[in-house]
């Protein structure tokens, strides 16, 4: 009976630890996805700016 109680406590502790690890992993994934989303947005903004600059240069060349 004592061993059964010790096993149950150990099992409960392991389950709690696994749950904490899952929560932490989900939080880290969410943080990473936020950073990746920001990077994607910045890259898209940069790409659009470059495209706009190229268009403006072409317009200037056509005018002259």
Go through the chain and tell me how many residues it has: 64
Question: pLDDT at position 7, please?
Answer: 95
Span 6-35, pLDDT tens digits: 999 999 999 999 999 999 999 999 999 999
Question: pLDDT at position 62, please?
Answer: 86
Instruction: Name the H helices within 1-64.
Output: 2-63
Question: pLDDT at position 63, please?
Answer: 74
Grouping H, G, I as helix, E, B as strand and the rest as coil, residue 64 is: coil
Grouping H, G, I as helix, E, B as strand and the rest as coil, residue 1 is: coil
Percent of the chain with pLDDT over 70: 98
């Amino acid at each position: 009976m004592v061993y059964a109680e010790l096993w149950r406590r150990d099992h409960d502790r392991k389950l709690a630890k696994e749950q904490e690890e899952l929560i932490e992993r989900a939080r880290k994934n969410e943080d990473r996805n936020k950073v990746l989303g920001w990077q994607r947005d910045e890259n898209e903004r940069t790409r659009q700016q470059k495209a706009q600059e190229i268009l403006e240069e072409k317009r200037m060349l056509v005018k002259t």
